[in-house]
Amino acid sequence: MGSNGMPRKSCEQFLENAFELLAVAPEKRQLLRSPYRELRFELPLKRDDGSISLYYGYRVQHNQSRGPFKGGLRYHKDVDLEHFVALAEIMTWKTSLLDLPFGGAKGGINCNPHELSSDELETLTKRYTQRMAMLIGPDQDIPAPDMGTRPQEMAWILDAYSHHGGFSPAVVTGKPVELGGAKGRNEATGYGVAIVTALAAEAEDIPLEEATVAIQGIGNVGAYAARFLAEKGAKIVALSDSHCGLYTEQGFDVEGVLQKVARCKEEGGQLSDLNDVFEIISNEELLELDVDILIPAAIGGVICEGNAEKIKARLVVEAANMPITCKADTVLNNQSIKILPDILANAGGVTVSYLEWVQNRQRFQWSRKRTLEELENRLTDAWEAVEQKTREEQLNYRQAAYFIAVERILKAIDLRGF
């Protein structure tokens, strides 16, 4: 997902469709589109070699009608304010759809974390926290990991914030378990993808047992989704990273192929080095495979106007944020391809972030089993609400999801007043 405005335009169009369905007044449409606060600030960093690099920190707080702001921190060299406005808005609809007591936020730093030492990353992260200290907190704004950040960065934020507001583990989620992180958080998003995929497959009369599945993206989300779907009997026939994909008509031994991929990466190799074991395909070919279920779990905009007519899957599950553009969404719907939208499909992460926040407020850590059971219950409730709305209003899944999310926020605004 680049910073070229595409994700914002897609999100705006999906939102506009919901506004039309709900007959939202023009002034309220503007209110829902406009972020509550947008921040950009400089972050000078003295490097290990004595030189100074200048970075910029960002935080967009979109809406707090239903609770404190919630959203990840992204470290990537190409991020900008417009990028975070789009992602913060998506978080608002996602938390509302899952009926979580949060609003949407997003932020980060325009750095390449792989070019920084551990000491430099710690300094940069804590400096970001110092600049944001008055605007974050358990009841104000709760950051979490995103692209380029890990539990370690959350631990550094917790430490920096503690010097200002005392030890408050609920200030961030996605922390190491040793510092109050939720057991099960690491696999939560991928597990959530598998849960809602299974529910949607049943509704669409796609028997998950032996259903063929292609997953673009073999990172944390894609790998765990593959594991859990394979456990449910699905046949994972294709997996990819940013360079290329692996394909086998018979279906992978998922754990075995993930171990092979991990060893290959550790040795400095690429997926293409496994060509003696699997067929190598491009990411474009993976998206166009004739499979039952396609799961784009990498970056945004991979299904666009240029390739939408070539998509053959019966069900597309948006494990990535905004992997389908607006025009492609129209094409797929016209081809009767069902789409499970990102604000539902990849909501497992923010849901377990909420459960971590709850545990931190109680100062009582749950078992992994309890956390994942609660995640499954909440995702099932959200799916049932979406499916019911599709039947009642004759909508597709995306329209129904946005309808529910926007309606809940409008209700909160009306109840709270101005």
Please tell me the distance from the alpha carbon of residue 371 to that of residue 355, in angstroms, as a whole number: 7
Residue-range definition of the domain harbouring residue 251: 188-345
Is 106 noted as a catalytic residue in this protein? yes
Q: Are residues 82 and 114 in the same domain?
A: yes
Q: Which residues pair with 38 in a beta bridge?
A: 60
CATH of the domain at 141: 3.40.50.10860
Q: Are residues 231 and 290 in the same domain?
A: yes
pLDDT at 321: 87
What does residue 319 show for φ and ψ, rounded to 5 degrees? -75, -25
CATH of the domain at 297: 3.40.50.720
Is 102 within the bounds of a domain?
Answer: yes
What does residue 197 show for φ and ψ, rounded to 5 degrees? -65, -45
Q: Are residues 154 and 205 in the same domain?
A: no
Is 199 within the bounds of a domain?
Answer: yes
Q: Are residues 139 and 42 in the same domain?
A: yes
Low-confidence ranges of the chain (pLDDT < 70): 1-11
pLDDT at 1: 40
Please tell me the distance from the alpha carbon of residue 329 to that of residue 316, in angstroms, as a whole number: 10
Please tell me the distance from the alpha carbon of residue 343 to that of residue 340, in angstroms, as a whole number: 9
Q: Are residues 248 and 301 in the same domain?
A: yes
Is 132 within the bounds of a domain?
Answer: yes
Q: Are residues 139 and 264 in the same domain?
A: no
Q: Are residues 63 and 149 in the same domain?
A: yes
Q: Are residues 75 and 210 in the same domain?
A: no
Cα separations (Å) of 144 from 212, 329, 355? 33, 29, 13
Is 403 within the bounds of a domain?
Answer: no
pLDDT at 83: 87
Domain boundary among 102, 136, 170: 170
Q: Are residues 202 and 310 in the same domain?
A: yes
Is 87 within the bounds of a domain?
Answer: yes
pLDDT at 5: 40
Given 70, 94, 106, 338, which residue is catalytic? 106
Is 290 within the bounds of a domain?
Answer: yes
What does 402-414 look like in DSSP terms, one character per residue? HHHHHHHHHHHHH
Whole-structure pTM value: 0.93
Q: Which residues pair with 240 in a beta bridge?
A: 216, 245
Look at the chain and report how many structural domains it folds into. Answer: 2
pLDDT at 384: 98
Q: Are residues 218 and 163 in the same domain?
A: no
Is 212 within the bounds of a domain?
Answer: yes
Contact in structure between 358 and 364 (CB atoms under 8 Å): no
Q: Are residues 134 and 246 in the same domain?
A: no
Q: Are residues 220 and 340 in the same domain?
A: yes
- For helices 368-393 and 348-362, what crossing angle results, to 10°? 130
Domain boundary among 294, 323, 345: 345
Is 125 within the bounds of a domain?
Answer: yes
Domain boundary among 322, 345, 368: 345
Contact in structure between 14 and 326 (CB atoms under 8 Å): yes
